[in-house]
Amino acid sequence: MLLNVVFSHIDHFGFLENGTFKQRYLLNDQHWHKEGGPILFYTGNEGDITWFCNNTGFMWDAAEELGALLVFAEHRYYGESMPFGEESYSNAKYLNYLTSEQALADFAVLIKALKKTLPGAQKSSVIAIGGSYGGMLAAWLRMKYPSAVVGALAASAPIWQFIVPCGEFYKVVTHDFTISGTNCSSNIRMSWAAIDRVSATGEGLQWLSQEFGLCNPLKTPDEVYGFKAWLQETWVNLAMVDYPYEANFLQPLPAWPVKVVCKNLNFNTGVSDKQLLNGISQAVRVYYNYTGDAVCLNTSQTATGNLGFLGWFYQSCTEMVMPMCTDGVADMFEPQPWNFQAFSDECYNQFGVRPREDWAEIVYGGRNISAHSNIIFSNGNLDPWMSGGVTRSLSESLVAIMIDGGAHHLDLRYNSEFDPESVIKTRALEVRYFKQWIKQAATTQ
Amino acid sequence: MLLNVVFSHIDHFGFLENGTFKQRYLLNDQHWHKEGGPILFYTGNEGDITWFCNNTGFMWDAAEELGALLVFAEHRYYGESMPFGEESYSNAKYLNYLTSEQALADFAVLIKALKKTLPGAQKSSVIAIGGSYGGMLAAWLRMKYPSAVVGALAASAPIWQFIVPCGEFYKVVTHDFTISGTNCSSNIRMSWAAIDRVSATGEGLQWLSQEFGLCNPLKTPDEVYGFKAWLQETWVNLAMVDYPYEANFLQPLPAWPVKVVCKNLNFNTGVSDKQLLNGISQAVRVYYNYTGDAVCLNTSQTATGNLGFLGWFYQSCTEMVMPMCTDGVADMFEPQPWNFQAFSDECYNQFGVRPREDWAEIVYGGRNISAHSNIIFSNGNLDPWMSGGVTRSLSESLVAIMIDGGAHHLDLRYNSEFDPESVIKTRALEVRYFKQWIKQAATTQ
C-alpha cells in the first residue's frame, strides 16, 4: 500500500481562502491492469482511512477480479487530513470547511489529478465505493460528479435518514434483539426503570458501578443519564456489527454478538432489579470485554478510536441532521421525542453553529433521485441504518440489494467461510454491475 | 408581475456565516392552471432580473400554451439581490459568496420554498430556463439538482467555453462580419494598424477623437489600447445581437445590425487610413447611436447598464475562466495569445483572488455530461458563444438545436413577424420537450 498526499483547496466554493491542505490517500496497484484497468475509489468517511482500508476487504477481492487499481481517499478533518493541522478543531472558523460538499469536491479533484498524473490511468473508469457515511458520499459523488465516476456502490448508506420517520432506526435495533433471543429486547426495555430505581440511593449507585465494573464510578443520580445513554449506544453498536463471524470493527467481538449478548438476557419477567441488571452487565461485557483484557468499563467511549466522533457531531450539527426518537413501545428504549430546537441549541453551545434542517434534502434530492444512474444501494436487514437506506430499486440502474442476515455493510468485508449465501451473492452481483458500468463507459466515451 | 423576496443563506456551503439576504424574484400567474400546472423558472444571470424578464418573451408565450406559472429569480450580487447591501462589492470578504454554486443553491432553495408555500404548486413540475450564463445555470441546475427541476432549456449557454480552443469565439465573430458584407471583416482587420499609424502623432490622436466623437478625447498613445479594446468589444456585441428585427437588448439597434454596420465597410482595400477609419466610425455609430440621441461616444461602456460587469469580471476571475485568444489570421482582430498568468495577476490586483483554471471543468463535468438528462441546448449559428456551446445532441434527452440565422438566444425573445423559420420551429420543439418532461414526471413521481 502506498501512502500519498495530494494538495487540495481548503475551500472549493470560495476564493478568498486560498490555502491548501494535504489530503491523504492510499494506493495499491498490485492487481492493476494498466492502460484501461479500472479504479476502485473508496470515498473515505468519518475516520482514519487506514482503518477503513483494513475493513474493506471486498475491494481487494474485487480488484483482483477486475484488474483494478485501489485508491482509498481520506475525508478532510479525519485521520491525518487536517486542513489546519492540529488547530483544525480549535474553533468555528477552522471547522467551517468540514462539509460533505467540500469532501466530494476533494474526491473529484483527486480523481482528476490521478487521471492526469498517473501513467495508464487516463482512460480508466472510476467506481466509487463506500460504506455508511462513506456510502452516502459514494452515491452523492456519482450524483453530483458523474463525469468523475461511472458508478457507485453505496453500502449501508442511509441517504434518506434525514427524511424518514424518526423512530425507524431504533425499531430496527430492537428487532435485532427481539429475534436474537427469548425475552432479550423486553428485558432491555425493562432495564431502564430498574436502573432508575436502583440508582435512587447512594448504595444503589455504588452497587451499579461495581456491578458494571465502571472505571469512573457513578457519584450522583445526575450521572445516570449518561450511563443509560452509554448503554443505549452499546445496543446500537451491537446491532450494527452483528456479523456472522468473529470480527473487530467497532470492538473485538464473537460471531453473532447480539445472540451472545441475548444469552445473558433470556430470563423471564419477574426477576429482581439487581438480577436484571446483572444480566445487562454480563451482556455489555460481551461488547466491551470479549478479549478479557478490560480492567474496567469506560463509559466515555463506545467504539474504536479510529472514528472521529467530534467531527461527525459537527457534521450532524450543520447539514447531516438525522432526526431520531424512541417511544418505548415500538422500541426497547426510554421514550425520547425528537426535539430539533433543543438539538440546535446544543449545537450552538458546542460549536457556535446551528443545523439547517432542510438542506440535506435539498442538496441531495431527498426521495426524488430517479434522474441519477449507476448506483447500487446495498443494505443488511439487521443493520439499523437500513431504516434510512434505499431498500427498493428505483430504476434499472438505481439498484437496491437487501442482504438477509447482514449487519452494517457486511458486503464490504473480506469474504469468509462463515459468510451467509446472501452476501456471497450480493458481492458477485455488485462486481457484475461494476463490469457492466465499465463496459458501458467504454462505448460512450 | 409580482415582485417578491425570499430570504436565502449568504453561505450555503458553510455554517459559520449564518446571515441571510433578500433574494428578489418575479412571479406571474396570469396563465397558471393551479393544481398541477407547471412552473417555468428563469435562472437569473449577471444582471437585473426585471431586464431579463423583459427580454425573455418566449416564456410568456410558453406559459400561455402550458398553463404555467412564471418565476424569474435574480442572481445574487446582481440587480437588487445584494448579500451585503451596498457594501457587497466593497471587499474580497463580502464578494466571497459570489459563485455559481451559491447561485444554484439559491435557486434550489427558492424552488423548495415555492412548492412548500405557494398554494397549488406542491406537485408542479418545474422547468429551468435561461440564456447565456443564465442558460449555463439552467443546465447546471438540472445537472446538480435534478430533484428540483424536471428539465432545462439552456439557450446560447457556452458550458464548454472553459475547455474549447481559445480562438473559437473570435472566429465566429469574424465569420458574422465576413458573411454580412463585402470586405467587411477584412477592413476591420486592417483598421487596427491604421489606428496605430494615425494615433502615433498628437494631431492624429485629436483627429481620431473627433472622427469618433469621443466623450473623452484620447490624450496619449497609451490610451489607444483601451480605444481598440472598446472597438473589439463593440464588434463582439454586434455579433451577439444580430437579430432579424429592430431590438433593444444591449443597445437599441436596427434589424440585422451587422449588415447595416458592414454597409459602411464595403470599400476595396487601398483606401487611406483616414478613409478606412471614417468607415469604422460610421459603423460603430450604428451600435452606439441608432436613436440619433448620442451627443458623444463613451468608450467606458459598451452595453446596457442592466448587466453587472464588475460581478461578472469577479466570476471570471474565480471559477468562470474562459480562455480567449486571437491571431489576426483566422479572425479579424489583433493577435493576442491567451495568458493565464497575466490574467491571474490582473485578478489578484483587482480583487485579491486568483482564478482556478480547472475547477469549472471538474465541478460541471466538462465534455463528459452524458449521464444527465432532459436538457435542451439551443444555439444560433451567428452567436459567438455557440463556440462554447453544445451543438450536437449527446443523447435522446440531451438535445442540441441549432438555429440557422440566430444570434444570442434569439429563441428566448418574444415571437415576431420577422422571425426566421428556424427559430419558430425551435420554439415549437422546445415547448414539445417541456410537455414531454412534464408528462414523464407525472408518471414517475
Q: What is the pTM of this model?
A: 0.96
B111 to chain A: nearest residue by CA?
A362
B101 to chain A: nearest residue by CA?
A13
User: What is d(CA A378, CA A401) in angstroms, rounded to the nearest whole number?
Assistant: 5
Is residue A307 within 8 Å of residue A47, measured between CB atoms?
yes
Exposed / middle / buried, residue A219 (Cβ in 10 Å: 0-12, 13-18, 19+): exposed
Q: What is the mean pLDDT of residues B16-43?
A: 95
Domain A2-162+360-443 has CATH 3.90.1150.10: no
Q: Is B132 among the residues known to form the active site?
A: yes
Provide the 3-class DSSP secondary structure of residue A380: strand
Spatial neighbors of A294 by CB under 8 A, at least 6 apart, are: A213, A285, A288
Which residue ranges make up each domain of chain A? 2-162+360-443, 167-289
Domain A167-289 has CATH 1.20.120.980: yes
Report the candidate in A123, A366, A144, A110 with the shortest Cα–Cα distance to residue B372. A144
Residue B315 banded pLDDT, cuts 50, 70, 90: very high
**Chain B contacts of A319, Cβ < 8 Å?**
15
pLDDT over 60 (residue B445) = no
Residue B302 banded pLDDT, cuts 50, 70, 90: confident
Is residue A115 within 8 Å of residue A121, measured between CB atoms?
yes
Q: A143-154 pLDDT, tens per residue?
A: 999 999 999 999
CB atoms within 10 A of CB B119: 7
Is residue B364 within 8 Å of residue B141, measured between CB atoms?
no
ipTM score for this prediction: 0.95
Exposed / middle / buried, residue B271 (Cβ in 10 Å: 0-12, 13-18, 19+): middle
pLDDT over 60 (residue A67) = yes
pLDDT over 80 (residue B378) = yes
Report the candidate in B185, B231, B169 with the shortest Cα–Cα distance to residue B379. B169
Helices B273-288 and B224-240: crossing angle, nearest 10°? 50
Q: What is the mean pLDDT of residues B340-362?
A: 97
Q: Do A363 and B105 touch (CB under 8 A)?
A: yes
Q: Do B366 and A144 touch (CB under 8 A)?
A: no
Q: B117-126 pLDDT, tens per residue?
A: 999 999 999 9
Q: B91-136 pLDDT, tens per residue?
A: 999 999 999 999 999 999 999 999 999 999 999 999 999 999 999 9
Q: Which of A16, A368, A445 sits opposite B93 (nearest CB)?
A: A16
Q: Is A180 among the residues known to form the active site?
A: no
Q: Which of B13, B318, B371 sits opposite A373 (nearest CB)?
A: B371
